[in-house]
A and B are shown apart, each in its own frame.
Chain A
Amino acid sequence: MSPTVEEKPPLAADKPKVKLLVLVGAPIVAMVVGFFLWGTRLASVVTPHIYTGTVFQDSSPAPRFDGLSFSDGTPANLDQAAGKMVLVFFGYTHCPDICPTTLDTISTALTQVENSAERVEVWMISVDPERDDAQYLEQYVDHFSPSFSGLSGTQTEIDAVAAAYGVFYQIHEPDDTGEYLVDHSAQLMGIGPDGSFRIVWAPDTLADALASDINALLG
């Protein structure tokens, strides 16, 4: 009997390891199963990303871009961007401040998003169709990133899309040199890869915060 007892130590040493494995493994398995059962809602509360932008819980479809087209004449619709997130901004090429700042911020933010070219599209809709012809608009957005696109249409078409996206714009009277400014809302908006309207960012959002939100939305 005595020799048998003497042979036990190796087994006795394994027993705590098994117990330890169970103690460590069980909560992990429970946690994974718990998250699975509760879905992403609980998971995102337990490890929340605090969005800088304002997020929409409802997954209603983003307003359409009826009548607007890309610089190459292709009609703009979200089917073309299926599976990608689309960032929408309203501006114009003669814009002195907020438009270049915003496009630059987006460009910087997208450097912090993995495979951004394959996952995110940026559409700038011109609120100055008189001066922003297709070629000029494309050159302008290309300056910030070749992957950015410029969209335009008639004044009536732009009016309808701008209103749907909560954007106000007003063209001022030209000065003596014929130059004029356009007042416009400058929020940036994000449409999810499924075509739902997901988020609005205030004009002063920083690139890091923007990148962080985009990454969180893309998962």
Chain B
Amino acid sequence: MTKSTTQEPQENDEVNWRFGWPLKLAAAVFFLIVVCGISFAVFEPIQVLPRIRLAPGYALTTHDSEVVTSETARGAITLYSFAPTDCDRECESSYETMAEVALRVNNEVDLGSTEFRQVTIALDADPTASELRHASQRSGADDNHWQWVGGTSVQLRNVVGSGFKIFYEQDSAGETTRFDPGFVLVDGAGIIRGEYRYQTLATDADKIVHHVDILANEIRNANGATAVAYEAAHLFLCYP
């Protein structure tokens, strides 16, 4: 009797020793993964900008007859704005925002090896070289990192209307252009990552600079194993 009662715990102990610790380990790992998943979703340690949709493909022309295409912008972070070439007072704040963003991105954002470009698309069809040049000078564009480009009415419809989804219309005489101002941020893969159409408490420049910073961080850091963390951030919609 004594013999049999002492053998039972021994067998249990043996089973516990043989199978107990791997199970406890598996349970601990599972628990840890669940906690990590919940923590990631709640605390958002990495922020990313949403991949909204593909930016339109285009080939538009500058006042120097240089053809700027969506492939020219590949690899660079590009901020687009939209304005008619004869736009003065109504577009002043848009020009100021573009200039402020250029300055602040240069000073405040670590772009690494990524280029930051700005493109303003003229909303009047077939602008002359002279019109584009004057618009460029008036807005403060440097024609290097910030360029004005124009195209035909069909190109504008495909690129600005359908592609960037910016509302604009010209009167029948083609003299007056009505439009909704806005900015669009596109990453180096040609994907729209930010759209700025409405005034909020934060200025457009504040929002855009912050978003360029987030995008630049993703481009710099999302390599190797860290890429998984960034994809998780996309999956959990860790957006600013």
Hey, which bits of chain A sit against chain B, CB under 8 A? 1-2, 5-6, 8-9, 12-13, 15-16, 19-20, 23-24, 27, 30-31, 34, 38, 41-42, 44-46, 48, 50-51, 54-58, 60, 63, 156, 159-160, 162-170, 183, 185, 187, 189, 197, 200, 202
Q: Which 5 A-B pairs have the closest CB atoms?
A: A166-B54, A163-B158, A168-B57, A16-B15, A167-B57
Q: Distance (Å) between the CB of B223 and the closest chain A CB?
A: 11
Tell whether A55 pairs with B56 under 8 Å between CB atoms, given A27-B23, A38-B37, A200-B191: no
Q: How far is the CA of A133 from the CA of B165 in the complex (A)?
A: 33
Whether A165 contacts B51 by the Cβ 8 Å rule is no
A24 with B23: CB separation less than 8 A: yes
Answer whether residue B181 sits at the interface, using C-beta atoms and an 8 A cutoff: no
Look across to chain A and name the residue whose beta carbon is closest to the beta carbon of B228: A48
> Which of chain B's residues have a CB closer than 8 A to the CB of A50?
227-228, 231
Chain B residues closer than 8 Å to A16, beta-carbon distance = 11-12, 15
A73 to B234 alpha-carbon distance, docked (Å): 40
Smallest beta-carbon distance B8→chain A, Å: 5
Q: Which of B27-35, B142-150, B167-175 lies at the interface with chain A?
A: B27-35
CA distance A111 to B85 in the complex (A): 53
Which residues in window 1-33 of B have CB below 8 A to A?
Answer: 1, 4-5, 7-8, 11-12, 15, 19-20, 23, 26-27, 30, 33
Asked whether A5 and B4 contact (CB < 8 A) given A34-B34, A57-B50, A160-B158, the answer is yes
Contact between A57 and B71, CB atoms less than 8 A apart: no
Is A58's CB under 8 angstroms from B15's CB? Answer: no
Establish whether residues A159 and B70, one from each chain, have CB atoms under 8 Å apart when the complex forms. no
Q: Using a Cβ–Cβ cut-off of 8 Å, how many residues does chain B contribute to the interface with A?
A: 49
**B103 within 8 Å of A by Cβ?**
no
- Chain B contacts for A58, CB-based, 8 A: 50-53
A139 to B5, alpha carbons, bound, how many Å?
83
Q: Which of A57, A187, A197 contacts B234 (CB 8 A)?
A: A57
Most buried by B among A13, A19, A54: A54
Task: For A46, give its contact among B37, B54, B227 (CB under 8 Å).
Answer: B37
A192 CB, min distance to chain B CBs, angstroms: 14
When distances are taken between beta carbons in the complex, the residues of chain A under 8 Å from B190 are 166, 185, 187, 200
Would you call A163 and B27 a contact (CB within 8 A)? Answer: no
Contact A54 B191 (CB under 8 A): yes
Q: Which residues of A contact B23 (CB under 8 A)?
A: 23-24, 27
A27 CA to B155 CA in the complex, in Å? 59
Q: Of the candidates B51, B162, B191, B232, which one forms a contact with A163 in the assembled complex, judged by CB atoms under 8 Å apart?
A: B162
- Alpha-carbon distance between A200 and B190 when the two chains are bound, in angstroms: 10
Once the chains bind, are B51 and A159 in contact (CB under 8 Å)? no
Majority SS at the chain B contact face: helix
Given A23-B20, A164-B162, A200-B191, the answer on whether A48 and B34 have CB atoms closer than 8 Å is no
Q: Which residues of B contact A (CB under 8 A)?
A: 1, 4-5, 7-8, 11-12, 15, 19-20, 23, 26-27, 30, 33-34, 37, 40, 50-59, 67, 69-71, 154-155, 158-159, 162-163, 189-191, 227-228, 231-232, 234-237
Query: In whole angstroms, how far apart are the Cα atoms of A155 and B26 in the complex?
Result: 60
| Interchain CA distance A13-B8 in the complex, whole Å | 8
Cα distance, A160 to B159, chains bound together (Å): 9
* Whole-angstrom CA separation of A30 from B11 in the bound complex: 27
A2 to chain B, nearest CB (A): 6
Output the nearest chain A residue to B26 by Cβ-Cβ distance: A27
Determine the residue in chain A with the shortest Cβ distance to B192. Answer: A166
Contacts of B40 in A (CB 8 A): 45
The minimal Cβ–Cβ distance linking B53 to chain A, given in whole angstroms, is 6
- A31 to B32 alpha-carbon distance, docked (Å): 12
User: Would A165 and B54 be within 8 Å (CB), given that A27-B27, A50-B231, A160-B158 are in contact?
Assistant: yes
Find out whether the CB atom of B57 lies under 8 angstroms from the CB atom of A45.
no
**Whole-angstrom CA separation of A30 from B28 in the bound complex:** 13
- Residues of the A chain whose Cβ atoms lie less than 8 Å from the Cβ of B11: 12-13, 16
Q: Which of B19, B70, B189, B231 contacts A48 (CB 8 A)?
A: B231
Tell me the nearest residue of chain B to A20, going by C-beta.
B19
**In the complex, chain A residues whose CB is within 8 Å of the CB of B56:** 163-164, 166
Bound form: Cα–Cα A202–B70 in Å: 14
